[in-house]
């Protein structure tokens, strides 16, 4: 029993007046918040009848100018004040052009024939031979340059090796 009394005294000493003041103030603030929010007299959004608003209640923010036609938000995707006839004409022209191209290019043999007709076989062979000649010349130049650099490097290494051997022999005697 004495231990219980001592524990109560220790608890009361550790529980100071300042923390009690903060706790009470917090509860009062919470109660004030709850009562003002719950009792402000407005309707809850879930209980409103949105399909049948009361008479005289304005449900639209503005009066629509154009009737709903589809698109985003049930209205046309383009501004009705903008003249789109040029764009419509261009779209129609491009669609017709793509359909014509589809009809023309269905046979792969015709495509090959068109390619050969644009540039003759002799010209193609000449271009290929010229590109092969250029490639061979570049390879030859690269090989000769690499051989020259390699020979110079071997020569330099041989001289360095001779100098190292001479130095080692002199140190040995």
Residue 42: its pLDDT value, please? 56
pLDDT tens-place string over residues 67-79: 777 766 777 777 7
pLDDT tens-place string over residues 122-163: 777 788 888 899 999 999 999 999 999 999 999 999 999 988
The DSSP-derived string for 46-95 is GGS-SSSPPTT----SS--SS---SSGGGS-SS-TTS--HHHHHHHHHHH
The set of residues, in sequence order, having a beta carbon less than 8 Å from that of 65 and lying 6+ positions away, is: 80
Q: Is residue 118 predicted with pLDDT exceeding 70?
A: no
pLDDT tens-place string over residues 7-36: 777 776 666 666 777 888 888 998 888 888
pLDDT-above-70 percentage for the chain: 71
Q: Is residue 45 predicted with pLDDT exceeding 60?
A: no
Residue 113: its pLDDT value, please? 72
pLDDT-above-90 percentage for the chain: 20
Residue 82: its pLDDT value, please? 81
Name the residue among 52, 73, 55 with its Cα closest to residue 64: 73
Rg for the chain, CA atoms, rounded: 47
Residue 79: its pLDDT value, please? 76
Residue 71: its pLDDT value, please? 66
Which position has the higher pLDDT, 137 or 111?
Answer: 137
């Amino acid at each position: 029993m004495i231990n219980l009394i001592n524990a109560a005294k220790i608890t009361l000493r550790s529980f100071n007046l300042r923390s009690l003041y903060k706790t009470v103030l917090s509860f009062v603030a919470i109660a004030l918040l709850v009562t003002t929010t719950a009792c402000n007299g407005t309707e809850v959004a879930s209980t409103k009848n949105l399909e049948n608003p009361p008479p005289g209640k304005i449900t639209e923010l503005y009066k629509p100018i154009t009737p709903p036609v589809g698109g985003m938000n049930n209205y046309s995707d383009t501004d009705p004040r903008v003249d789109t006839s040029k764009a419509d004409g261009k779209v129609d022209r491009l669609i017709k052009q793509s359909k014509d191209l589809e009809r023309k290019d269905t046979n792969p043999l015709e495509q090959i024939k068109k390619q050969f007709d644009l540039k003759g076989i002799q010209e193609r062979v000449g271009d290929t031979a010229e590109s092969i000649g250029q490639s061979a010349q570049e390879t030859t130049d690269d090989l000769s340059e690499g051989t020259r650099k390699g020979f110079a490097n071997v020569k330099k290494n041989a001289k360095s090796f001779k100098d190292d051997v001479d130095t080692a022999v002199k140190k040995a005697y």
